[in-house]
Amino acid sequence: MMKAIINTSNLVVGGAKQVAQSFLYELSIRKDGIEFHIFLSKEMKREINEKNFPSNFIFYHIQNKPKPFFKGKKAKKELNLLEKSIKPDVVFSVFGPVYWRPRSKHISGFASGWAINPESIAYNVLSAKTKLKIKLTNWVKLFYINQPEADKYIVETEVVKELLNKHSNIALTDIEVVSNTFGDQYNSAVISNNKITPKYDSFFKFITISANYAHKNLEIIGKVIPLIQAKKLNVKFFVTLPENEFKVLFTGFENHVINLGVLKAIDCPSFYKACDALFLPTLLESFTASYPEAMKMDLPILTSDLDFAHNLCGAAAVYCDTLNAKDTFAKIEELIANKDLQKSLVKSGKTQLNKFDTSKTRAEKYLKICGLLNPQEN
């Protein structure tokens, strides 16, 4: 029986966890005859119900988060000892860098937009201190990527493949492309969520499922609200933040911004279903599953007028300058007023979805790159 380590020991927040969860679920319903050894971070452990997995899955709770240089000494020792005892045919780290070089063949995902977009407009919203910190972090990430710490890297778009090659010494032949997508929970019947109650039915409801990273540009919501108030538009924004972060960003705007709290991936479809459109003012992405998720849930999209967004959304979105409150408000007003536009965006979203992998085909491609796919499936 072949053995594979699936490494999620470095995953803490965000879309990377959702990708890992989706991949593990797809593996659990396959009959590959592979022994999977799953390395879980503390954060991933909270998301995974190990009892739902078959007997060929063995879980490990990694106590020390991998870190660069000497800070990661304990984690590297823990991971090395486990790898030595398991003797895997391959290690697949869902996203890197992982700050660890296994002795076995190592395949790693990569989706660090900051590291390969040094000219991004997202840097314009950062303080000098934060900008310096991110640039230093980027240098460290690329230092480990360039070792290299993996034999092959997997990215989510052709654009990211070109940028990773440009800003590292990784050859194009060592970079594979497998798109992100929506999780399997979006294929199930979705029950309306009672947290978005009928009292909001008279409002146009934008949903933004996102952590409060600098590049997500959530501050623009607060800048748009005075314009919405002046025009007396019935608009509500639904966000998904820890309560302390919500208070910092939106104290005084509670009449227009509703906090749903941090959501589990399994709960997201019902919140999409209860809303009218996705609002994603992000300034930098390698890929975000929010786009295909909204398309799958028949929502029009309002997002940033930037190349990555156009590449991912095509004709399924209205685009605006999300650093400009007046332009953003104008596009909000246009979208709300134009029902035919909303229908057209939803229709285009269905077409755009065909360009992305499904969660099943994504898992198959991961397995093929790792050399784990059954010969008849190749």
Length in residues, the chain: 378
CATH topology of domain 185-353: Rossmann fold (3.40.50)
Q: Where do the domains of the chain lie?
A: 2-181+357-377, 185-353
**At 317, is the secondary structure helix, strand, or coil?**
strand
pLDDT at 264: 83
- List, for residues 131-152, the tens digit of each pLDDT value: 999 999 999 999 999 999 999 9
Cβ atoms 296, 186 nearer than 8 A: yes
pTM, full prediction:
0.90
pLDDT at 199: 76
| Closest by Cα among 219, 224, 273, 226 to 241 | 219
Ranges assigned E (strand) in the chain? 2-8, 34-40, 57-61, 90-96, 105-110, 152-155, 175-177, 204-208, 235-239, 257-259, 277-280, 301-304, 317-320
Among 3.40.50.620, 3.30.465.10, 3.10.50.30, 3.40.50.2000, name the CATH number for the domain at 2-181+357-377. 3.40.50.2000
What is the C-alpha to C-alpha distance for residues 27 and 370, in angstroms, rounded to an integer? 13
**DSSP per residue, 215-268:** GG-THHHHHHHHHHHHHT--EEEEE---HHHHHHHHTT-TTTEEE--SPPGGGH
Decide if 2-181+357-377 and 185-353 have a common fold.
yes
pLDDT in tens, the chain (378 residues): 899 999 999 998 778 898 999 999 999 999 888 999 999 999 999 889 999 999 999 999 998 888 998 888 999 999 999 999 999 999 999 999 999 999 999 999 999 999 999 999 999 999 999 999 999 999 999 999 999 999 999 999 999 999 999 999 999 999 999 999 998 888 876 665 567 777 788 999 999 999 999 999 999 999 999 999 999 999 999 999 999 999 999 999 999 999 999 888 888 999 999 999 999 999 999 999 999 999 999 999 999 999 999 999 999 999 999 999 999 999 999 999 999 999 999 999 999 999 999 999 999 999 999 999 875 555
Residues 53, 59, 63, 64: what is their CA dihedral angle, to the nearest 10 degrees?
-100
What is the C-alpha to C-alpha distance for residues 97 and 104, in angstroms, rounded to an integer? 16
Q: Are strands 2-8 and 204-208 parallel, antiparallel or unpaired?
A: unpaired
pLDDT at 194: 61
- Two structure tokens written together for 263: 């959501």
What is the C-alpha to C-alpha distance for residues 5 and 98, in angstroms, rounded to an integer? 13
What is the C-alpha to C-alpha distance for residues 7 and 150, in angstroms, rounded to an integer? 13
